[in-house]
Structure 1
Amino acid sequence: MKRFIVLLSITILTTFIVWSCERDDICAEGTATTPHLIIRFYDVNNQNNFKDVRQLEIKGLGDDGLPFSETPILSRVNTDSIVLPLRFQEEGEETITRFQLEKDADFADNMDPNNDSNIDIIEIKYTPEFIYVSRACGYKSIFNFGPTGGITREVDSEIWITNTEIVNETIDNENAAQIIIYH
């Protein structure tokens, strides 16, 4: 009889635990989270064609213009698209995230004056908006360029980014590029 009462107690307790958890207590793996900025690179001479950037290295920059970290976001790859994180602190407050894009980064290591890397700095201006996802997942951010947002690049004597274009005003998923860079 004692065994029966213990077994019944364990069964009732297990049933209570299983049924007390709600479906949204665990954030599902496929749930959309805060998206990254997607940039595609196109050939400035043939604007319908993608164009790889040779040995691209990217660093995030702080408000003081210095890199956040010595570890780059992207390190020396040939690519025609990049995925970058955006900062967000306050909902509805215009935010700026800056990136240093270095083309031909491997040339920075050699001493040949004819082959040198080229650094351009871009500034992304946007407004975060927080959206409730669920109890388990919490909130995610989407980013709106709006009338005052967008992308600018610092002009220097040797630019490699010749033009930019916003193709999606809202960054709410990672299914398509939001910005095009021509080079």
Structure 2
Amino acid sequence: MFGKKIKSLSTAGIFLLLIALINLSCQRDDICPESTLITPLVKISFYDFDANSEGDTLAKPVANFSIRAVGDTLNFEIPTNPSEISIPLKTDVDLTSYEFILNANDDEEEEPTSAENSDIINFTYTRNQEYINSACSFKVTYINLEAKLVAETPSSNNWIKDIIVDQSTVEDETTTHISIFH
């Protein structure tokens, strides 16, 4: 009788130990918290070119603005007549090109109107990948950011008059990285 109790206790002990080991080997679901900083967007502000030539910096919204990634089908939700926007840069190459469109046609089915004016800006940078954790994976920050307007012939066709890189390192979305004067 005493042997049966020991045998049942050791079986129960082994069973509890097995359950404890299984429980310890399980991990919680990996969910990336919203508070975790991930790959930042580039913040662009639009300013009045004429006011800048007088030494002032005056925000100037872009009329009927639209933006398209060159060579990509990426679409953006842009506020109506924005004075600032935030856009992503590619994380797998060191060049991203966007077409910035002034007086864009709202209907994508229709042909562009004569009032529509588009300028292409090439963004070049160096990517710096940082491992966050298994849930959030990698975060990319950008250093040595440059923005160059693709020249048109004649140059008077460009609605963008000047581009200034305010922050060449993109680590967060709180400050303006690029100022565009039009």
Give the TM interval when normalised to the shorter protein. 0.7 to 0.9
Decide whether the 8 Å contact of 1:57 with 1:76 is kept in 2.
no
For normalisation by structure 2, the TM-score amounts to 0.74
2:126 aligns with 127
2:89 aligned partner, one-letter code: L
Q: 1:26 & 1:164 partners in 2: Cα distance?
A: 39
2:141 aligns with 142
Question: Are 2:149 and 1:153 aligned?
Answer: yes
How far does the alpha carbon of each residue in 1:61-90 deviate from its partner, in whole angstroms, 9 at most, with x for none?
13xxxxx12x63245731011111111226
Decide whether the 8 Å contact of 1:133 with 1:139 is kept in 2.
yes
Q: 2:137 & 2:112 partners in 1: Cα distance?
A: 51
Match of 1:45, SS?
helix
Q: 2:96 & 2:62 partners in 1: Cα distance?
A: 21
Question: Are 2:52 and 1:56 aligned?
Answer: no
Q: 1:23 to 1:122 in 2, by over 3 A?
A: same
Identity of aligned residues (%): 27
The structure with the greater share of residues assigned to strand is 1
Decide whether the 8 Å contact of 1:38 with 1:176 is kept in 2.
yes
Decide whether the 8 Å contact of 1:39 with 1:82 is kept in 2.
yes
Matched length: 161
Distance apart, 1:27 and its partner CA: 1.8
Q: 1:26 to 1:111 in 2, by over 3 A?
A: closer
Q: Which deviates the most, 39-48 or 120-129?
A: 39-48
Distance apart, 1:181 and its partner CA: 0.3
Match of 1:155, SS?
coil
For normalisation by structure 1, the TM-score amounts to 0.74
Distance apart, 1:13 and its partner CA: 5.2
Which runs of no fewer than 5 residues in structure 2 stay unpaired?
1-14
Q: 1:14 to 1:82 in 2, by over 3 A?
A: farther
Match of 2:105, SS?
helix
Q: 2:111 & 2:31 partners in 1: Cα distance?
A: 51
1:6 aligns with none
Q: 1:27 aligns with which of 10, 23, 32?
A: 32
Match of 1:100, SS?
strand
Decide whether the 8 Å contact of 2:105 with 2:113 is kept in 1.
no
Distance apart, 1:31 and its partner CA: 0.3
Q: 2:46 aligns with which of 37, 41, 49?
A: 41
**Bigger radius of gyration among the two:** 2
RMSD: 3.2
How far does the alpha carbon of each residue in 1:123-167 deviate from its partner, in whole angstroms, 9 at most, with x for none?
00001110121232121000112xxx5111112231110000011
Q: 2:21 & 2:42 partners in 1: Cα distance?
A: 45
Decide whether the 8 Å contact of 2:46 with 2:83 is kept in 1.
yes
1:178 aligns with 177
